Structure 1
Amino acid sequence: MLTRRMLLAGLGASCALPAGAQDDWRRSVPEVRIGVSSAENEAGAIARYQPLMGYLSDKLEVPTKLYRVTDYAGLVEAMRADQMEFSRFGPAVYALGRRILGDRLQPLFRDIDQYGQEGYYSVVLVRSDSPYRTLADLKGKSFAFADPNSTSGFAFPAYFMRKEGVDPQSHFSGTVFSGGHDNSVLALVRGQFDGVATYQVNAESGVAQRLAAKNMIPQGSTRVIWTSPLIPASPFCARANLPDALKARFVAAMNAMKDEAPEIWKTFTDGHVSRYAPARHDDYLDVIAVTEELDAQRKQRRS
């Protein structure tokens, strides 16, 4: 059951609106569009999100549809063009979105896992049968990041590797962007790269674990050799110019899903989320600082 403390404070007042006033938003928003980046494996994304669309259509009482965009930055562009109502943003993509949209992009809530953890980690994976044990062992080897706008797949590993004296530009024989976390891990297991940056919540939950559970890679075929500091969980975001009653109803529906639609909840969260908690802009200030420093380094190299 939805609890009051789980509702965002900024949206709570709108929940007290008369029923008729709450329903008025449907005149201006006859369809709710949820954005997802195609950087995630297509079949996997559709399998996780499509049941959620049916659930939200019932709860919001308007058609709710999934829209895929070409990359993470495309989610920001869709929000800027008012072509998307809600989307889940990686922390670095949220930083990009705030740089472009400012307060027009509003964080709503984020995951808390079954251990009470409100975040995840960037990890460097190698094949489990490889001799590599540390980043130093990957000197002169091939390496893949996920996407230039990915927090765990680029921003955090690139930033903290340099802090540890490992410059990806010179340390590896070459680096590429694979186009997504699934692509990186699949290519690693196939032998196309010696190391990849991706994400992991804990030893039981992450990209490699999910792919292994789906028999897309063998169990135990990868090994972690580096872990970043904790990254705050990816926020579900809204266009701030949406009616408050719609945002409140969306938050309430997502919070109620675990109790009211447990199978859909399990499918959407992979069974690794205990509940949602409000997300605040201040939660992502460290991520914003990391992305801004990386941008400054890029500009310096080009000048």
Structure 2
Amino acid sequence: MKNIRLTSVLALGILASVGAASAAENCRVVNMGFNPAQDSAAVLTNGTAIAKYLESKVRGIQVKTTVAQDYQALVEATRSGKLDFAWLSPVSYVQAHDEANAQVLLKSVRNGGPYYWAAFVVRKDSGIKTLNDMRGKTIAWIDPNSAAGYTFPRATLVAKGVNPDTFFSKQTFAGKHDAAVLALANGSVDVIATFSNNTSGTSGSWTQYLPADKAAALTPVVYSKPIPGDTLSVRADYQTGCADVTTRIRSAIVGMSSDPAAAGLLKKLYTIDSMIPAKDSDYNVVRQAIAASAKK
């Protein structure tokens, strides 16, 4: 009987060892997805640079990067387990958390604050000066899962008693912020909903993606409430099974802003100054905006 028990203990020990080795192997390869908020080729180049930095800081891991086709695809890849970490917009994070138990790790800081705004932007020569002047005009949103390019600006209109679906004569989706500002500058649409880094009209997608002379011809006319910064999130089961790697990656990204070897990497990626710790409750305001934007 003692020999049988000893054999059983040894067998359990071997199985545990094999399981640990398997877990370690699963944790070694990290799949990280990026938000296609702007030119996908640029995002992939800058995301790959961040992956190489993480590999240099977290020994033994291999970071595989991908840029999603759109916001929803990034959520679905997280839900299906194809991605371990994802750079999610605030709305995409809420969706991934509430539907697939993704966990927020960090949020972005720009211009000294962990938040930004949605803005309705027009051409200065359009004659559009106020919200009411936008009535009957054509608008380009960004994506249904974009906080600054859809959810928050729609919620802003609803809060002012405006039905977004009847207020404009035509609605389209640009897909990306850089495409939207080009469409506005070229006269393809009258209004765009996009991100702004402040409420003084001096910094936003139009100043980032256009030459100075073309950017100077555009101006925001209405701003939303502040939006919490976009996120780095992780699949809950990956975080549980690979806690050490998750913690090290999180720490490495937090440290990027003060590491000369990483200077500029976050800025090149999404014009981020730094990433700071975040918690799910930070995004309750996003949940409120989602509910409000669905109203007519």
Per the normalisation by structure 1, the TM-score is 0.82
1:125 equivalent in alignment to 2:124: no
Say if 2:135 and 2:167, in contact at 8 Å, map to a contact too: yes
**In the alignment, residue 77 of structure 1 is paired with which amino acid?**
E
Matched residue type, 2:266:
F
Cα offset, 1:165, TM superposition: 2.3
Report matched runs for 1:281-292 at 5 Å.
Answer: 281-292=280-291
1:170 and 2:173 correspond:
no
* Alignment partner, residue 143 of structure 2: 147
Are 2:104 and 1:107 aligned? yes
Quote the residue 2:16 is aligned against: none
If you compute each CA radius of gyration, which structure gives the higher value, 1 or 2? 2
8 Å CA contact 1:109–1:279 kept in 2: the answer is yes
Who is 1:68 aligned against? 67
CA contact (8 A) 1:33 1:84 kept: yes
Q: Is the 8 A contact 2:107 2:276 kept in 1?
A: yes
What displacement does 1:216 show?
9.1
Deviations, residues 79-100 of structure 1 (Å, cap 9, x unaligned): 1111111111111111211231
Partner residue in 1 for 2:47:
49
SS of residue in 2 equivalent to 1:191: coil
Alignment of 1:1-303 (within 5 A): 26-61=24-59, 62-101=61-100, 104-115=101-112, 117-202=113-198, 203-212=201-210, 215=211, 218-242=214-238, 243-262=242-261, 264-270=262-268, 273-295=272-294, 297=295
Q: Which amino acid aligns with 1:246?
A: V
Whole-angstrom CA distance in 1 between matches of 2:204 and 2:63: 28
Instruction: Answer whether contact 2:32 2:83 (CA < 8 A) is retained.
Output: yes
Task: Please state how far the C-alpha of 1:257 moved relative to its aligned partner.
Answer: 1.6
Between the aligned partners of 2:21 and 2:86, the Cα distance in structure 1 is 22
Contact 1:33 1:65 (8 Å CA) reproduced: yes
Residue type of the alignment partner of 2:106: F
Alpha-carbon shift at residue 31 of structure 1 (Å): 1.7
* Distance apart, 1:32 and its partner CA: 1.3
- Provide the aligned length of Structure 1 versus Structure 2: 270
| Unpaired runs of at least 5, structure 1 | 1-21
Deviations 1:229-268 (A, max 9, x none): 1011112101111211011011111022223345x44142
Are the structure 2 counterparts of residues 126 and 197 from structure 1 closer, same or farther at C-alpha, using a change threshold of 3 Å? Answer: same
Would you say the 8 A contact 2:123–2:190 is kept in 1? yes
Shift of 1:272: 5.5
Q: 1:23 to 1:151 in 2, by over 3 A?
A: farther
Which amino acid in structure 1 is aligned with residue 87 of structure 2? R
The more displaced of 57-66 and 118-127 is 57-66
- Are the counterparts in 2 of residues 181 and 198 from structure 1 also a CA contact under 8 Å? yes
Are 2:55 and 2:63, in contact at CA under 8 Å, matched by a contact in 1?
Answer: yes
C-alpha contact (below 8 Å) 1:39/1:70 kept by paired residues: no
SS of the aligned residue for 1:218 comes to helix
2:10 maps to: none
Query: SS of the counterpart of 2:125?
Result: coil
Question: Kindly tell me: are residues 63 and 282 of structure 1, through their superposed partners in 2, closer, same or farther at Cα, counting changes over 3 Å?
Answer: same
**Alignment match, 1:7:** none
Q: Residues 46 and 272 of structure 1: is their aligned pair in 2 closer, same or farther, counting only changes over 3 Å?
A: closer
Residues 186 and 217 of structure 1 are in contact (CA less than 8 Å); yes or no, is this contact kept in structure 2? no
Mapped partners of 2:37, 2:231: distance in 1: 17
* 1:44 to partner: Cα distance: 2.8
Structure-2 residue corresponding to 1:3? none
Cα distance in 1 for partners of 2:189, 2:49 equals 35
Structure 1 residues 217 and 246, CA gap change in structure 2 (3 angstroms): farther
Q: Is the 8 A contact 2:35 2:89 kept in 1?
A: no
- Rounded Cα–Cα distance in structure 2 between residues aligned with 1:292 and 1:165: 15
* Secondary structure in structure 1 of the residue aligned to 2:126: coil
Q: CA deviation at 1:143?
A: 0.6
The runs of at least 4 aligned residues of structure 1 exceeding 6 Å deviation read none
Aligned residues of 1:211 and 1:217 also touching (Cα < 8 A)? no
Q: Describe the shift of the 1:287–1:83 C-alpha distance in structure 2 as closer, same or farther (beyond 3 A).
A: same
Q: CA RMSD in A?
A: 2.3
Deviation, 1:151, is 0.8
Do the aligned residues in 1 keep the contact of 2:109 with 2:272 (CA within 8 Å)?
yes
Please report how far the alpha carbon of residue 124 of structure 1 lies from its aligned counterpart in structure 2 after TM superposition.
0.6
